[in-house]
A = this chain, B = another copy of it.
């Protein structure tokens, strides 16, 4: 029978965590020992007496979740893993070296880390996603603990998370705020005024406890209070000292992110090395029902020739996916009637999450949920996903499998104007490591891609269109990720037009005119912008000698660049012309927008004729 470690020994454990954090940073020659030392007592009490975790089974769905929102305190986290016998001392000293899993900031290369941190203000948002999964999806009584820095409370994302957590009454979530007074280059806004944080969080609906973060009795009592509090999340706001325990650095400026000046001396000052080992509390439950197997999806089917907006097809396909797959969940940024995720919300309200106008938190919640094994689709206007770009970037570092859907892409939205037009989304998502970028042109294609993306790896992005476009593919057509469709082709083709989404229809119209004028043109629907179908593009280049790309997007980073990338293998490169949106749009009808931007059928026909001449 396991007994909780007594608090005197926990105090010793805190010292050990400091010592090991100092040693790790010293071995690395870099890192953040002082930011680790301030939080060591807070984490010692957590590990020894409150965290329910089986380190031998990190994917046990009943494990508590611990997130270091202040990811730079990684030496402390790794010292905890050593104390839990999950890492060896030798591994600890490999910190920050080539090949080590102990990176400068925690990543899921370590099995006990479920979300990468290191961009401040992200850990609490992820924690909210996990706590929400516990409450509403897993229905397993695991708790989520997030160690936050005081500096990162300046990030707006923390307050999106605070609002989301209290609105959802996440009493299984505890934020531990390490108020060590000093940021990277000097004092924080509120220094040791823990009341400043408490007032703000209370106003946002949280329960708060202010304590001395080096008093293990107070810490223990605060965690017990958090565990007892119902109906709202708790913040333990702890006054601490950066570099605690070593006079040369304690509460002094100028020691952020550096090994201690004399680590050997510091270890002695801290009381020397020790080898306390901790067995955390067992997970609170062994049972966790997660739907896994499922029947084949019955996707919506659309008739060729009908006019259907791809955003509608997305909503219908997502809803159909949700009907057979219990692991699919949807999140939206208060625009579900525009993105059409409302179709899913209506059918599967228990798996729909309204995130209001807080795109960072929406993406973070999705990342938190996928870390728990769920398959999230998060949607808003393509333009507004830029709000969460840092979270998307970090999702890739987290090796997260997450589906993001941006509607209302491009000038084709018409009169709403440039603030609402996603015109940089393809560039932004292409430049995310390991991402998939899809841009369908019709409803059946959209439905198939929604099904396919659910099982792809990494960050997957689907771009949908506001207005209706003609259905050109039959419902049973297949659209593998990384593929493309050749829509017009003959042995005599003199030019290839590469398009995606709305410009596919313009390209087809242009090809008809060109054919009538005796300039046969190949048309490729490049629905998979990344990965790109280099084989088909190269074959078209070989046959036709020249390519026109046309996209409802800025000229940089989108379809044109994706096509160019297919020819960056040292082989022969065709002549290329790029049509894209080159001037800042204003309000106009969708048709006018395409014309003014020079990406309509007329412009394509002119460009193709010139190039083929």
Question: What is the interface size of chain A, counting residues whose CB is below 8 A from a CB of the partner?
Answer: 118
Binds B, one of A102-110, A239-247, A441-449, A486-494: A102-110
| Residue from A29, A95, A356 with most neighbouring chain B CB atoms (10 Å) | A356
Complex CA–CA separation, A397 to B427 (angstroms): 18
Complex CA–CA separation, A3 to B589 (angstroms): 44
Taking a contact as CB atoms closer than 8 A, the residue among B117, B204, B387, B589 that contacts A119 in the complex is: B387
Inside 8 A of A158's CB, which chain B residues have their CB?
156
Structural contact, B587 and A578, CB atoms closer than 8 A: no
Structural contact, A554 and B28, CB atoms closer than 8 A: no
Inside 8 A of A334's CB, which chain B residues have their CB?
151, 154, 183-185
Inside 8 A of A359's CB, which chain B residues have their CB?
390
Q: Does A432 contact B (CB under 8 A)?
A: yes
Binds B, one of A128-136, A270-278, A288-296, A555-563: A555-563
Structural contact, B570 and A573, CB atoms closer than 8 A: no
Task: Indicate with 1 or 0, residue by residue over A163-191, a CB within 8 angstroms of chain B CB atoms.
Answer: 10001000000000000000111001100
Structural contact, B30 and A154, CB atoms closer than 8 A: no
Also in contact, A184 and B338, with CB within 8 A (given A156-B155, A390-B386): yes
Structural contact, B546 and A96, CB atoms closer than 8 A: no
Also in contact, A357 and B576, with CB within 8 A (given A185-B337, A335-B185, A417-B105): no
Structural contact, A185 and B417, CB atoms closer than 8 A: no
Structural contact, A587 and B356, CB atoms closer than 8 A: no
Inside 8 A of A189's CB, which chain B residues have their CB?
163, 167, 356
Structural contact, B430 and A587, CB atoms closer than 8 A: no
Also in contact, A433 and B554, with CB within 8 A (given A160-B154, A203-B199, A203-B200): yes
Q: How far is the CB of A584 from chain B (nearest CB, A)?
A: 6
Q: Which residues of A in the span 22-71 have a Cβ within 8 Å of any Cβ on B?
A: 28-31, 71
Complex CA–CA separation, A97 to B241 (angstroms): 60
Q: Does A592 contact B (CB under 8 A)?
A: yes
The residue of chain B having its C-beta at the shortest distance from the C-beta of A256 within the complex is B337
Complex CA–CA separation, A40 to B194 (angstroms): 41
Structural contact, A103 and B554, CB atoms closer than 8 A: no
Structural contact, B565 and A556, CB atoms closer than 8 A: yes
Structural contact, B337 and A184, CB atoms closer than 8 A: yes
Complex CA–CA separation, A393 to B589 (angstroms): 22
Q: Which residues of A in the span 557-581 have a Cβ within 8 Å of any Cβ on B?
A: 557-558, 560-562, 564-565, 567-578
Structural contact, B434 and A360, CB atoms closer than 8 A: no
Complex CA–CA separation, A293 to B155 (angstroms): 37
Q: Does A118 contact B (CB under 8 A)?
A: yes
Q: Does A552 contact B (CB under 8 A)?
A: no
Q: Does A424 contact B (CB under 8 A)?
A: yes
Structural contact, A105 and B570, CB atoms closer than 8 A: no
Complex CA–CA separation, A415 to B430 (angstroms): 25
| Residue from A28, A121, A424 with most neighbouring chain B CB atoms (10 Å) | A424
Q: How far is the CB of A460 from chain B (nearest CB, A)?
A: 15
Q: Does A152 contact B (CB under 8 A)?
A: yes
The residue of chain B having its C-beta at the shortest distance from the C-beta of A355 within the complex is B154
Structural contact, B199 and A119, CB atoms closer than 8 A: no
Structural contact, A584 and B434, CB atoms closer than 8 A: yes
Q: How far is the CB of A600 from chain B (nearest CB, A)?
A: 14
The residue of chain B having its C-beta at the shortest distance from the C-beta of A358 within the complex is B154
Structural contact, A433 and B428, CB atoms closer than 8 A: no
Structural contact, A557 and B356, CB atoms closer than 8 A: no
Structural contact, B557 and A430, CB atoms closer than 8 A: yes
Q: How far is the CB of A577 from chain B (nearest CB, A)?
A: 5
Q: Does A418 contact B (CB under 8 A)?
A: yes
Complex CA–CA separation, A334 to B153 (angstroms): 13
Structural contact, A567 and B556, CB atoms closer than 8 A: no
List 11 A-B pairs, Cβ < 8 Å: A28-B415, A96-B417, A96-B587, A383-B390, A397-B419, A424-B428, A427-B556, A431-B556, A556-B561, A560-B568, A573-B574
Contacts A104-B417, A116-B419, A573-B574 known; list 18 others, CB within 8 Å.
A28-B415, A97-B415, A98-B587, A103-B418, A104-B419, A154-B334, A183-B334, A184-B338, A188-B356, A386-B393, A393-B424, A427-B428, A427-B557, A430-B557, A546-B570, A557-B557, A567-B576, A572-B575
Which 5 pairs from chain A and chain B are nearest by CB? A156-B156, A118-B419, A564-B564, A427-B431, A203-B203
